[in-house]
Amino acid sequence: MSTPAAAVPLSRDARTRLRREEIVTASARIFAEHGYAGVGMRQIADAVGIRGASLYHHFPAKEEILYAICLTVTREPNEENLPLLDAAGTPARRLATLVRAHLRHLARRRVEHLVALHELASLTAAHRAEIDGYRRHYQRRVRDVVAAGMRAGEFGVPDAQLAAFGLCDMLNGFSNWFVEGRELELSDVVEGYVELIVGRMLGATGPL
């Protein structure tokens, strides 16, 4: 009988990345419960189970942690979701795919998203400008696909930019009410949103 291979140890960079992600996740939970202003670095370190000096090694200031939280719901969707808009298929189908991915990302990052919405003003001006830039880029890409669908006769909306704003607001509002494991299943909500947004708001017909 062969013995199982020993697990390959993580590299130092991988361990650092995992620790930072753990800190960000724990901090988002604490900020959501107590508010950003009411939480200190020691409380975060205790929640993660590390010494304060170790926490400062990963994040030199509390604001840097908030900034990292905000990146998970701005830069991350840009990197993960926007490539879906460049895939093959009609504008309607590409937007439907984006809606599904966006909602599933928000379900995974719900706490981080709520913290980012409520605590954005606590970021430095430079960090806030970067976060706003990611959001504007995402909206512009959605607008461009809506405009392409209008030119192709797929969408019946009169203004692509207004439609993109409404679409993004509707998607992001999902975080305010959806909690997995309660009344509605995530898969049902996702498909319902595809029909509401792409089928009814934009007016697309056919399978999505």
Which two three-digit tokens encode residue 22?
């753990």
- pLDDT higher than threshold 90 for residue 155: yes
- pLDDT higher than threshold 70 for residue 93: yes
The 10s digit of each residue's pLDDT in 139-148 is 999 999 999 9
- With contact defined as beta carbons under 8 Å apart, do 41 and 56 qualify? yes
pLDDT tier at 51, thresholds 50, 70, 90: confident
Nearest 5°: CA angle at 69, between 68 and 74? 90
**What is the pLDDT at residue 145?**
98
CA distance 202 to 205: 9
Decide: helix, strand or coil at residue 177.
coil
- pLDDT higher than threshold 60 for residue 132: yes
Decide: helix, strand or coil at residue 50.
coil
More confident residue, 49 or 71: 71
**What is the pLDDT at residue 5?**
52
